[in-house]
Structure 1
Amino acid sequence: MGYRFTRDDVAFLRSQSGSEALECASSLALSSATMLSDIAELRGRWPSHHAALIETLLCRRRGKTKINAAERMLFTDDALQQATASPVAAHRAVEIATRHPGAVVHDVTCSIGAELRELTAQQHISGVIGSDLDDVRLAMARHNTVLDSPPATLLVADALTPTSTADVIVADPGRRAGAGRVFRLDQLTPPLLDVLTTYATRPLAVKCAPGLDYQILWDRFGFTGQVQLTSLDGAVREACLWTDRDGEPRRRATVLRTDPSGSVRSYEITDADADDIGSGEVGEWILDPDGAVVRAGLVRHYARRHGLWQLDPQIAYLTGDRIPSGERGFRVLEGSGVSEKELRRRLAAYDCGTLEILVRGLDVNPDQLRKRLKLKGSRALAVILTRIGRRGVGFICEPGVRMP
């Protein structure tokens, strides 16, 4: 859960004294080896707020790879965990600005304001409102959005009580309770179906966990909008429900990748794309599609776009004689069975000592298998274990490479 901030903590952190304290404390390691001495030093200088200083610095350090300007922001641990990564939030903000130029956008569960900062950065969005019931997080959002120009308008309000006439609504129901993460739709805070009902007459974007069973929304609850699965640098970050998508694809995968320069590139696949492909023998390469493509059920659509085919119609692995630009593929050296004895023998013949194991469709624990193989060579390889029909198969491959 992390430290529970008070309004007094936030007021101190936002003050000149708090800013100076954070600057001074930022030089401390706050590691497991130094934590006791660091706590003693901070308690001696700021006895009423040492815990808030420590938690803020730790959150800022954890948030650096996720949130732009994290080193200047205020967080709670839970808020940081649920905050949308900046590239994902920025991509959504651009989409809203493009589809609704001049709109006022209201984030009705704004928390510490990470999404608000990306919305206010869009010049074609005319106004941004943020609201939340947690006055501590809202106080943090006031600090975080003041870093931007223009800042968002903030107010205390229940997400299920409409408090603005904003043109577009954004919501991110809480996915944590006292016992940890929750997964049922009615366990979210506020419940997902209540959010959809409350704002049924306005364009709405609802951020959800990537494991959301969106088929239930269509089959049992009459949801008619679009589900967008988004990944960032290979990790699936969220499923976003869009309600203003009449006549558009129902499923969309958005893949965001950060290039060496720090720029974010993207591509999308939807269920409006063609998906007529076959399955067949392994080609020169095997590709494990991005998780957003897999979770959106768009593996065949992706394969058709790039001239690939499936090893098995029910398995997500794709194969072909080339790998699309920007994707990571495995060049096949030879096929194999899946027994440990055979794998050990074949890998030893390649002098394999370091092994990446990918598995789909088989009950195999890669870490446990790697230990049991007891490889002692010097070469790095990969093995892909899957099934074709009911038959388990393996493919020994060169290490994965990402195509330029």
Structure 2
Amino acid sequence: MGYSFDVDDVQYLRSAAGRAAVAELSALPLTARSRFADVAAARRQVGERFAAAALETAVLRRKAESKLEGSAGWLFTDAALQQATASVVARHRAQRLVGRDVHDVTCSIGADLAAVAAVARRSVGSDLDRVRLLMARQNLDAAGSGAVLAEADALRPVTRDTAVLADPARRDDGGRRRWNPADLVPPLDELLAVYSGRDLVVKCAPGLDFAAVPDDAEAEVVSLDGQVREAALWFGSLADRTARRRASVLRSDGSAWSITDAEPDDCPSEDVREWIVDPDGAVVRAGLVRHYAARQGLVQLDPRIAYLTGDAPPPGVRAFRVLEHGRFHEKTLRALLRRHEVGRLEILVRGVDVDPDALRRKLKPKGAQEASLVIARVGDQAMAYLCRAERT
């Protein structure tokens, strides 16, 4: 759960002495192995009262480097950093809020608000947690943002005629994820009731049950560098009225593309061709595999699984060139791996009850070559495809 900051901690960390202390502690190793030595050093350098706060801040800033751009002088709690949106994703979401008046009603430490404030006409952030609000002020000042902050309950609106951004807490006090929308803080149904008729975007976990999404919402699933990061529910004029589901695929290099259920989904199931394609997780989670296949000229191996096949893979994806294939039999696979001199084996499984690690131990790959083994249920058969993974 991390250190529990109080108001005095934050005021110290914002002072010249606190800033200097964190800068000095940031030079320590800050690893699990060095933890005891780091704590002792912090107590010597900072004193007992604020040593834990300063050391935790140094640790969290290092963790934030790969997630939040330009956050070198920011303040965090461990839970707030875990829930904070990665900068690339936050900027993507903020693009629908350009030029608007926006109120982030669960602003926490200000990570989303910083991205919104950079493009909004006016921006407001509010939260019930006074410690996080003080941290947000520090972080927004460091980002050069003039966003207004207020201590307020997300379920008691304090602005009118603004687009509303909400990011309900998705972890309990023990750090465990909450998957049920009713267990979010504040609960999703209460947020929707309070802001009914308003332009609203609610950030949710990608495991959200889309069957429970209201009919007037657009549900967007977002991935970054191949990892699904979040879902967002868009309401009012913020929603795309032509689509109910969208997948947005982002890369850290700035490239991005999206697909919606408004596109054609004509996609037959056929025998394997030269390539197997595993669609991005955002596409799979949004239920848009058939739409993606139709766009890219691919077909499904089986209508119940997400693996696609075709004569040429889409550009910019990791695809699998099929070397050999047949029914899944361990004895046959061992001989196949020996014939291809495979020593490093990646195993991907879908629709078949197979433990990849246990199977790899049984197959005992030995050789100089690297390969990927795709195992999937096609019809009523478990099929195996020995492939070479390539970046197209």
* Aligned CA-pair RMSD: 1.2
Residue aligning to 2:117: 120
Instruction: Tell me the amino acid that sits aligned with residue 75 of structure 1.
Output: F
CA contact under 8 A between 2:327 and 2:381: conserved in structure 1?
no
Residue aligning to 1:69: 70
Residue aligning to 1:326: 316
Residue aligning to 1:186: 182
Deviations 1:237-282 (A, max 9, x none): 11100012373200000000123xxxx1110110000011211111
Q: Say whether 1:37 aligns with 2:34.
A: no
Instruction: Tell me the amino acid that sits aligned with residue 114 of structure 1.
Output: A
Instruction: Tell me the amino acid that sits aligned with residue 5 of structure 2.
Output: F
Residue aligning to 2:135: 140
Deviations 1:351-388 (A, max 9, x none): 11101111111111212222222212111100000011
Task: Identify the match of residue 331 of structure 2 among 320, 325, 341.
Answer: 341
Residue aligning to 2:341: 351
Q: Say whether 1:227 aligns with 2:256.
A: no
Instruction: Tell me the amino acid that sits aligned with residue 19 of structure 1.
Output: R
**Superposed structure 1 runs of 4+ greater than 6 Å apart:** none
Deviations 1:329-366 (A, max 9, x none): 01000103222222122111111110111111111121
Instruction: Tell me the amino acid that sits aligned with residue 205 of structure 2.
Output: A
Instruction: Tell me the amino acid that sits aligned with residue 154 of structure 1.
Output: L
Show the 5 A alignment for 1:124-273: 125-179=120-174, 180-218=176-214, 223-244=215-236, 245=239, 247-259=241-253, 264-273=254-263
Unmatched segments (≥5 aa) in structure 2: none
- Alpha-carbon offset, residue 390 of structure 1: 1.3
CA contact under 8 A between 2:213 and 2:219: conserved in structure 1?
no
Instruction: Tell me the amino acid that sits aligned with residue 97 of structure 2.
Output: I
Task: Identify the match of residue 296 of structure 1 among 260, 275, 286.
Answer: 286
Between the aligned partners of 2:213 and 2:222, the Cα distance in structure 1 is 18
Show the 5 A alignment for 1:362-377: 362-377=352-367
- Alpha-carbon offset, residue 166 of structure 1: 4.3
CA contact under 8 A between 2:375 and 2:382: conserved in structure 1?
yes
Instruction: Tell me the amino acid that sits aligned with residue 165 of structure 1.
Output: R
CA contact under 8 A between 1:256 and 1:265: conserved in structure 2?
yes
Deviations 1:147-188 (A, max 9, x none): 123321101000000011142000011011124211111110
Between the aligned partners of 2:188 and 2:200, the Cα distance in structure 1 is 12
**TM-score in terms of structure 2 length:** 0.96
CA contact under 8 A between 1:336 and 1:342: conserved in structure 2?
no
Between the aligned partners of 2:240 and 2:268, the Cα distance in structure 1 is 31
Between the aligned partners of 2:283 and 2:128, the Cα distance in structure 1 is 35
Instruction: Tell me the amino acid that sits aligned with residue 224 of structure 2.
Output: L
Instruction: Tell me the amino acid that sits aligned with residue 276 of structure 1.
Output: D
Instruction: Tell me the amino acid that sits aligned with residue 182 of structure 1.
Output: R
Q: Which moved more, 1:149-158 or 1:230-239?
A: 149-158
Between the aligned partners of 2:60 and 2:90, the Cα distance in structure 1 is 19
Instruction: Tell me the amino acid that sits aligned with residue 93 of structure 2.
Output: R
Between the aligned partners of 1:118 and 1:176, the Cα distance in structure 2 is 23
**TM-score in terms of structure 1 length:** 0.94
- Alpha-carbon offset, residue 143 of structure 1: 0.4
Unmatched segments (≥5 aa) in structure 1: none
CA contact under 8 A between 1:387 and 1:393: conserved in structure 2?
yes
CA contact under 8 A between 1:311 and 1:388: conserved in structure 2?
yes
Structure 2 SS opposite 1:341: helix
